[in-house]
Structure 1
Amino acid sequence: MWARENIISTLTDYINKLPPGEPFIRSQAEMLISIVTGVVDRVIVSPTSNVFPDVSETVVEWIRVGSIEVSQL
């Protein structure tokens, strides 16, 4: 059995805990995936880099979970 559901749960939890205006840091997501039991390697295809929400006097974006797809390498 591989760790698909645990990876999805871990990433969902990480993203849901980001406050409004805080960036998604790809290396943090990679680290969280790496410590899931059963994971020996990982590749995040998308996003290809950190994601910075817009924050200004008129708008504060909030990163939320979209679609998370996990497959074996």
Structure 2
Amino acid sequence: MQSVFESTVGADHASKFQHQDSEQYTIVCLLWLLVQGASQIDYSYANEQAETICQQLFTTSATMKSADSQAELLRQRLMQAYY
């Protein structure tokens, strides 16, 4: 979605917009991992889901280094919810 903002309004103004679906998706995923942790579902399954979520949210970002660091921070946040 960020690439749509960049192509429409330019890279300078694209950072001022946020797609709310990604925020809602992140919240639902946090809640899901909370439930998995409370149910003591396998750690590796939760970690795999967290990585998949991050890949889905950060695959179309323009700068890969920035996207990788943001994805890693989100993955850590998701795994904190699991614990």
How high is the TM-score relative to the length of structure 1? Answer: 0.38
From the CA coordinates, give the structure whose radius of gyration is larger. 2
Higher helix proportion, which one? 2
How high is the TM-score relative to the length of structure 2? Answer: 0.35
